[in-house]
Amino acid sequence: MTRTVRIIRAYIALFFVLLIGCEDPQVEPNPFENIISNQDTVNFSFDTVDAASILGIYQNTFGPTCANIGCHDGTFEPDFRTVESAYNSLLFQVPIKNDGSLVYRVKPGSLSESALHNRITGLISPAMPIEIEPDSDWPTNKSQYIKDIENWILDGAPDIMGIPAGQSGIAPSITGLSIYVNDIKQVRPANYRPIKVTADFDQIEFLLSVNEELLTQDISKIILGIYSDSDYTTQVCSKELLRLSDSRFDYGLSGTEIAHHYTMSFNLDCLTEATSQWYVRADIILVDDSSYIVPHDEVIYYIKDYLSFELL
């Protein structure tokens, strides 16, 4: 074999090696690529929401019109940067500018005693909002947005879980839920989607966080229930949560970092219903024996979906 033939064969072999190397690699299928969410997980805008709920009011008014730079962007209260900060800085909070006639920024059930209502209707000066961004639709929809806020206040100013506020404080609320299996955090493919839980396990651990204001009220106990339906009609198991000695941090309902305060571990032998999605609900009992079921029956479905998990 001549030297020329050997060189030609070597080039041919190299050509086929390069050709094979240029083939498209086998890409593993993405198990979450076909998931369709009605929730914008970046900007947290909802496609379907009750305009007279705190979520609807935040989306239509507090966020685009009030949380302006130098105004209610955290520079001073009320803080309208998030749904939670808006709710917590309005309910039963004393106005900074107060002539003594208004006790709270929002008093559930009372328009005349709520500074928010008096500001946006011009009953007290200065009327809000003082300045409006060019892209705000407040001038066009002002009357409807005011009506939505009035209905929310008169309905008891329910929180994000749909629970009306009490007469003397903010109602209990769940701010985050995480699930671990064998110390491995289970994946939530997108915010407001069920947690995907591997079925190959002996025990599952739930981590739960509640609104910080509630912790100062000395919770007596929290009982976590697992339901086989989104209407919370069929409870398949329940167990009391334990208070963590050291908080564990994760991303919560609003997409920001929160501290988990409670934990519970148990096996899932009780999950015998013919369903793959399970819904979580808490019975929060305070030291004064008052009890709150969270979330409320009428809570928006995105919250129910967030407080759920699917077995893979």
For the segment 35-92, what is each residue's pLDDT rounded down to a tens digit? Answer: 444 444 444 455 568 899 998 999 898 888 887 776 776 667 788 888 888 888 898 8
Residues in the chain: 312
Q: Cβ of 311: how many Cβ atoms within 10 Å?
A: 17
The percent of the chain in helix, strand and coil, each rounded to the nearest 5, is 25, 25, 50
pLDDT of residue 32: 39
What residues in the chain have per-residue pLDDT under 70? 1-48, 70, 73-75, 98-100, 166-170, 213-217
Task: Please answer whether residues 295 and 174 qualify as being in contact, where contact means their C-beta atoms are separated by less than 8 angstroms.
Answer: yes
Q: Cβ of 139: how many Cβ atoms within 10 Å?
A: 8
**Domain annotation for the chain: domains and CATH numbers:** 54-154 (no CATH), 174-311 (2.60.40.10)
Q: Which alpha helices (DSSP H) does 103-182 contain, by range?
A: 115-120, 138-154
Q: Is 95 helix (H, G, I), strand (E, B) or coil?
A: coil
Q: Is 126 helix (H, G, I), strand (E, B) or coil?
A: coil
pLDDT of residue 151: 95
User: Residue 299 and residue 173: Cα distance in Å, rounded?
Assistant: 12
Among all chains, which residue has been given the structure tokens 């086929």? 16
For residue 221, list its beta bridge partners. 285
Q: Angle at the Cα of 263 (from 310 to 46), degrees rounded to 5?
A: 50
pTM of the full predicted structure? Answer: 0.63
- Helix and strand numbers (H, E) in the chain are 7, 11
Task: Please answer whether residues 194 and 308 qualify as being in contact, where contact means their C-beta atoms are separated by less than 8 angstroms.
Answer: yes
User: Residue 193 and residue 114: Cα distance in Å, rounded?
Assistant: 35
pLDDT of residue 30: 46
CA distances from 103 to 99, 111, 128, 144, 216 (A): 9, 12, 18, 26, 22
